[in-house]
A and B are shown apart, each in its own frame.
Chain A
Amino acid sequence: DAMVIQNPRYQVTQFGKPVTLSCSQTLNHNVMYWYQQKSSQAPKLLFHYYDKDFNNEADTPDNFQSRRPNTSFCFLDIRSPGLGDAAMYLCATSRGTSSYNEQFFGPGTRLTVL
């Protein structure tokens, strides 16, 4: 089945220790997104790629970076995690940029910062 996969599902890191979260997709979708979701809050868009074209949200901290080496994979790098970065990180994909395209989420990575 076509799907969005995230690894790891749970990540524990120490304050200030860099961490990388990964996302892969077999849907062959052009657009990949990274969201941050904290408890009882709406998912917050961090950035997205349309193919290799990177789009950063204006309020995404510089501490968050992303890479998309090919169509299937996308990575979220947190350079110096703080306690406030503990959250669920969600990867999503959509076929294209039309307003009518649906977004499909991976299972998420729960990040804990000690």
Chain B
Amino acid sequence: QKEVEQNSGPLSVPEGAIASLNCTYSDRGSQSFFWYRQYSGKSPELIMSIYSNGDKEDGRFTAQLNKASQYVSLLIRDSQPSDSATYLCAVNPGGFNKFYFGSGTKLNVKP
């Protein structure tokens, strides 16, 4: 059973703060990891992908991967109300390009 776990939230942060979203996965052999943002009633939008241990930064977003701990996180710096959405973690365990999704963490950024 390949599981991806996320805290459902909601995670509430004030505008300008750092939001930290976490994800754990069960398959130790997983090779690639993705963060999607999903606004209410909309489809998932790819934010970041990360494949190697460590940090990967893109603008206000930083993805962090620790394969030994089977843990991936997304940091959002200078959070804005427009960042309020559900953030989905997706894991590819390897082999065919099949993703396993977490149920998402709902983020509320308060003005």
Contacts and interface: CB of A to CB of B under 8 A. Distances in A.
Interface of A: 31, 40-43, 45, 48, 50, 55, 88, 90, 94, 96-108, 110
Interface in B43-58: 43-46, 49, 51
A101 to B, nearest CB: 5
B43 A106 contact: yes
Q: What are the 10 closest A-B residue pairs judged by CB atoms, nearest first?
A: A42-B101, A108-B43, A99-B31, A105-B43, A42-B103, A99-B92, A97-B97, A99-B32, A105-B44, A101-B97
A108 B42 contact: yes
B87 to A, nearest CB: 12
Contacts of B49: 100, 102
Contact of A107 (B43, B92, B101, B103): B43
Given A31-B97, A107-B42, A100 B31 contact: yes
Contact of A42 (B34, B51, B88, B92): B88
Contacts, number: 59
A90 B44 contact: yes
Interface of B: 4, 8, 31-32, 34, 36, 41-46, 49, 51, 88, 90, 92, 94-99, 101-104
Contacts of A105: 36, 43-46
Contact of B8 (A40, A43, A104, A110): A40
B43 A102 contact: no
Nearest to B89: A42
B102 A99 contact: no
B96 A97 contact: yes
B43 A90 contact: yes
A45 B44 CA distance: 14
Contacts of B98: 45, 48
Contacts of A94: 97
A55 B96 CA distance: 11
A104 B46 contact: yes
